[in-house]
Amino acid sequence: MTNKDIEQLVRPNIRALLPYSTARDEYQGEIGIFLDANESPYDTGYNRYPDPHQKALKARLSEIKGVPVSQIFIGNGSDEAIDLVFRVFCRPGVDSIVAIDPSYGMYKVCADINDIALKEVALNEDFSLPVERLLEACDANTKLIFICSPNNPSGNSFPAEKIEELLKNFNGIVVLDEAYNDFSCQKSFRFRLDEFPNLIILQTLSKAYGMASLRLGIAYASEYIIRLMSMVKYPYNINGATQRIVMDILKQDISERVAIIVKERDSLIKLLENYTFIKKVYPSDSNFILVKTDDADALYSYLLEAGIIVRNRTKATLCGNCVRITVGLPEENKKLIESLSQYESKYEKGVICR
């Protein structure tokens, strides 16, 4: 697929859009006195509007992630990037998208908000990717396919060749959500953007980088797609305080923390497999584990009373009686195991009904 093909997928009004421009966009030299934006002249540290293009932050991310600045979009969480993709490519009430099920719930929420039909395709029983069924679900008005890998809530990564098959055979945009890729042994597709012009990669600083409260998400794509997303976003979508704090945190090396989380995850999987009330522990390539139990509601309630909150996923497709457990600090994981052991004891004595 060429950039010309991508251009034909874009909503006509977006192709014709003139983006909001500031006086500072139009002048490239050094500015000493700012009298253009009706700001307060009194320096509070926050009296000036933030850089709408996040130049310094993109330059730092480019160094860390190995992607050119021109192929990086920064959003107010990955949710903003997801919403922008809808607004760039999908005509309300006309176009549709396809997404795997179960997966991240915001794809459906954004589809509903933007009045876009969503066709959900169930994963195979083992949570593997049904490429043929995904392609069969597409029609002439299908603009986007959303794939989360590692997937939430199942925790598994999809083989690169399966994603390649989608990219090569779908005449639209594949949005690959790699929010949990930092914990995965699978290489990110962000290094293959030039190979697939119809690919958008989503990543986040909320998980491995520990910045969930700051709400900063990243999209990687071709220069053309990034330019479209930057045109459609609101000018000052990332506030100045967030840009400064993120720049400071990005100086830290997260590799040791990630290694500890992966080690704790693998240890937890082995321990969880020993409990009689747990029927299956699904393989995980992320920082969480999906567990099938005899009674997800009972286990969820018991842990909640013990001061531990997990996610009850029993209503999700293919996830009957499943809970999703995020990997915590070693001491938190120890507390979880102690509580599960107490639950097991009551379960065996019949105090908790099977």
Please list, in sequence order, all residues whose beta carbon lies within 8 angstroms of the beta carbon of residue 63, skipping any fewer than 6 positions away: none
Give the SS3 label for residue 85: helix
Q: For the segment 143-161, what is each residue's pLDDT rounded down to a tens digit?
A: 999 999 999 999 999 999 9
Q: Considering Cα of 252, then 258, then 260, then 264, what sign does the dihedral take?
A: positive
Q: For the segment 80-104, what is each residue's pLDDT rounded down to a tens digit?
A: 999 999 999 999 999 999 999 999 9
pLDDT (mean) for 133-138: 98
Domain covering 3-249 assigned CATH 3.30.360.10 in the classification: no
Q: List the domain boundaries for the chain.
A: 3-249, 255-348
Give the SS3 label for residue 191: helix
Q: Is the pLDDT of residue 354 over 70?
A: no
Q: For the segment 45-64, what is each residue's pLDDT rounded down to a tens digit?
A: 999 999 999 999 999 999 99
Q: What is the DSSP letter of 65?
A: H
Q: Read off φ and ψ for residue 323, nearest 5 degrees.
A: -120, 150
Rounded CA-CA distance 338/340 in Å is: 5
Split at pLDDT 50, 70, 90, the class of 352 is low
Rounded CA-CA distance 154/288 in Å is: 9
Residue 353: the pLDDT is 55
4-18, 101-115, 151-165, 331-345 — which is least confidently predicted?
A: 4-18
pTM of the model: 0.94
Fold of domain 255-348: Aspartate Aminotransferase, domain 1 (3.90.1150)
- Rounded (5°) CA angle 228-176-222: 35
Q: How far is CA 321 from CA 207, 295, 326, in A?
A: 26, 6, 17
Q: For the segment 64-74, what is each residue's pLDDT rounded down to a tens digit?
A: 999 999 999 99
Q: For the segment 207-257, what is each residue's pLDDT rounded down to a tens digit?
A: 999 999 999 999 999 999 999 999 999 999 999 999 999 999 999 999 999
